[in-house]
Structure 1
Amino acid sequence: MHRILKYGLLAAWLTVVGSALAAPGGTVFTANEQAASISRVRLADGAASHVKLDIAPHNLQLTPDGKRLLVVGVSVHAGHHGNSADDGRLLVFDVADTAAPAFSLAVAGHPAHVITDRSGQLAFVSDAANNVLQVFDLASRTLRARIATGAYPHGLRLSPDGQQIYVANMKGNSVSVIDVASLREVAQIAVGRAPVQVAFLPDGRHSYVSLSGENKVAVIDVARRQLLDKIAVGNTPVQLFATPDGKLLYVANQGSAAQPDERVSVIDTGRGQVTATLRTAAGAHGVVVSADGRHVFVSNMGAASFWVIDVAQQQVIASHAVQAGPNGIAYAADTAGN
């Protein structure tokens, strides 16, 4: 009862705050693992639509041109730990019409995250069950390669120059460095306990890795492939994302099921420390920053919502309801298709 009252009053406060600050345009997509659905929310008016899936989606990602939405997860009939060729799926949607996938591809094992190369033609899916990246050619709709990684690959990001992919290996306590041209692992960097996701600064000089087992974020020198530092954040940090100017890094702290965290740690990358802590809702998980750097969007697994942060004001300005268990989150700026 107190929790309902707390969030009811907070929602009313956010309505007042949001009216005082400029509301962002564009569209936010969330992967709702517990509901086996994706949500699409138009930020200008809050209009939301939801698409039921035959997978429990763990993550989603827009292609660089913004025309496709890629979603990965395990079949709802296989539970959350798929192992066979039929357990996982990569669903490919046209952003102009997300009522149903344009096509889907079988992903063996336990697909966790998906990204593409800069062309948007190759999709890279982390398969935690088999310790590989599966690489799909989206034009021919075929499996192109399987790249060995460390143990239990999870989150992954493409470097700004498009030449490397960094993969967080949760059980290997390392980051795999994948060469995009040759489609092979060229290095592993030891980072610390239970890395979950990776973020790059826009200049490509440094990468940051959430260490869920240490409540810290690791800092990597990309050129030297060397661990430089660790920065203390909240409980069980998961996803993280840098602003386009590279000055700030936003880190979602999920906490545990018994004790969910609701904080977002804001790291000043120049100073190498947390300079602000913002509160959203239970189970802060996914993070994405708008291309103009003005807003941050954070999904909350324990509250079936995502929240909007104004970067200039460093405060939460809005929240939007989605379906149960939102984790992966993506943002698309206004286009004719949105």
Structure 2
Amino acid sequence: MPILKTYVAIALLAWGGAVSAADKVYIANENADTVSVIDAASFKVLTSVRVGNMPHNVQLSPDGKVVWVTNNGEPDIAAAPGHSGMKKADHAVMAKPGAVWLIDTGTDAVIAKIPVGLHPAHVVLAPDGRFAYITNGGDNSVTVIDAVARSVVATIPVGKFPHGLRFAPDGRQAYVANLKGGTVSVIDVASRKEITQIPVGKGPAQVGFTPDGLLAFVSLSEEKAVAVIDPATQKVMRKISVGTVPIQLFATPDSKTLLVANQGSRSKPGNTVSMVDLQTFKLAKTVVTGAGAHGVAVDREGGLAYITNTYADTVSVIDIKSRAVVSTVRVGKGPNGVSVSP
């Protein structure tokens, strides 16, 4: 493995995309109430930060100084590590208002806790870092937080059970995948209102955009497919077949490749990432990762992708150019969301 890592580092240097030693990868471990911090240069776990109940998603601010973590409030002491034989009452936990916790990337310590809605899923920051948007699956809304004042400024009604969301590259709109509604809500950022819902298919889980803003995507967890959306017309252009229960997806910085994690189910785990050529809309490669491939994040240069394997308690590192796994990192239980230093 050290030889392979050396090869990756040399390859990155060759095309001018060396990974800075300061770069980190943050992982939300949903079944451990922790966030793992990985050094992006060595692929080693640096530390583990204890956060609230069932942290689902993480997102670094555009300036890289703060990590936002969605969770279900204060940790359940009875379910913490060391209390063997005790299980979390998941439904009871998710019936309470959730929160986002903020971690300082300089110290990797929790610096703020902000209440949001029921069962918060994903969090994203506007491109300018001014506001954070959080989906609340339990009450069909999106919470808007002023990232400077660290206070809630709006709550936006959206579709049924909103899950993943992302901003368009120009920051003017946010797309929200309504998992149980079969739609993608389009939010106008200026007015903080839903302006339309795009019918997309069954089980929309996460959305994404190409950095050039020409294409949008949504994973359809109940269709083994990804729907491609034209942001100009806000209509589905086509669907691309991928693996079983696709969840998170992410386009590379050059807007040429889309990575889709295929989670499968606990009884029949998926363990692959579909790499889609966005010029032909064809499957270019299927990369085997670990059981329950779920989260996807790509570094700023487009050299490496990080995949959380929910059922394997690991993170797979994929070299995008060679389309191969170059490292596997053990993290906490139930790794879910993932974010990389911007």
TM-score (norm 1): 0.90
Whether the 8 Å contact between 2:121 and 2:164 is mirrored in structure 1 is yes
1:83 Cα deviation from its structure 2 partner: 5.6
Give, in whole Å, the separation in 2 of the partners of 1:20 and 1:204.
Answer: 33
Give the root-mean-square deviation of aligned CA atoms: 1.6
Identity %: 41
5 Å matches for 1:98-117? Answer: 98-99=108-109, 101-117=110-126
Matched, 1:22 2:9: yes
Matched, 1:33 2:33: no
Give, in whole Å, the separation in 2 of the partners of 1:21 and 1:90.
Answer: 35
Give, in whole Å, the separation in 2 of the partners of 1:83 and 1:31.
Answer: 17
1:108 Cα deviation from its structure 2 partner: 2.4
Report the more deviating stretch, 22-31 or 215-224.
22-31
Matched, 1:269 2:278: yes
Give, in whole Å, the separation in 2 of the partners of 1:117 and 1:194.
Answer: 25
In structure 1, give the amino acid aligned to 2:26: F
Whether the 8 Å contact between 1:128 and 1:154 is mirrored in structure 2 is yes
1:19 Cα deviation from its structure 2 partner: 3.6
Q: Deviations for 1:65-101, whole angstroms, at most 9, x for unmatched residues? A: 11110000113448444565x53111011111113x1
Q: Give structure 2 stretches of 5+ with no counterpart.
A: 11-18, 77-87
Give, in whole Å, the separation in 2 of the partners of 1:160 and 1:20.
Answer: 32
Aligned to 2:14: none
Whether the 8 Å contact between 1:74 and 1:80 is mirrored in structure 2 is no
Give, in whole Å, the separation in 1 of the partners of 2:94 and 2:309.
Answer: 27
Give, in whole Å, the separation in 2 of the partners of 1:127 and 1:197.
Answer: 14
Q: Give structure 1 stretches of 5+ with no counterpart.
A: 1-13, 334-338
Residue number among 158, 161, 164 corresponding to 2:173 in the alignment: 164
SS at match of 2:47: strand
Matched, 1:44 2:44: no
Whether the 8 Å contact between 1:15 and 1:318 is mirrored in structure 2 is no
Q: Deviations for 1:98-135, whole angstroms, at most 9, x for unmatched residues? A: 13x11111122110000111222211110111111011
SS at match of 1:246: coil
Aligned to 2:154: 145
Whether the 8 Å contact between 1:83 and 1:108 is mirrored in structure 2 is no
1:190 Cα deviation from its structure 2 partner: 0.3
Give, in whole Å, the separation in 2 of the partners of 1:34 and 1:94.
Answer: 22
Give, in whole Å, the separation in 1 of the partners of 2:28 and 2:45.
Answer: 17
Residue number among 208, 211, 228 corresponding to 2:220 in the alignment: 211
Give, in whole Å, the separation in 2 of the partners of 1:208 and 1:244.
Answer: 15
1:311 Cα deviation from its structure 2 partner: 1.3
In structure 2, give the amino acid aligned to 1:89: A
Give, in whole Å, the separation in 1 of the partners of 2:122 and 2:236.
Answer: 23
The number of residues matched between the two structures is: 318
Whether the 8 Å contact between 2:52 and 2:101 is mirrored in structure 1 is no
Aligned to 2:313: 304
TM-score (norm 2): 0.89
Whether the 8 Å contact between 2:24 and 2:38 is mirrored in structure 1 is yes
5 Å matches for 1:1-338? Answer: 14-22=1-9, 24-25=19-20, 26-45=23-42, 46-75=44-73, 76-77=75-76, 79-81=89-91, 82=93, 86-99=96-109, 101-332=110-341
Whether the 8 Å contact between 1:61 and 1:115 is mirrored in structure 2 is yes
Are the structure 2 counterparts of residues 134 and 80 from structure 1 closer, same or farther at C-alpha, using a change threshold of 3 Å?
Answer: farther
Give, in whole Å, the separation in 2 of the partners of 1:238 and 1:319.
Answer: 20
1:271 Cα deviation from its structure 2 partner: 0.5
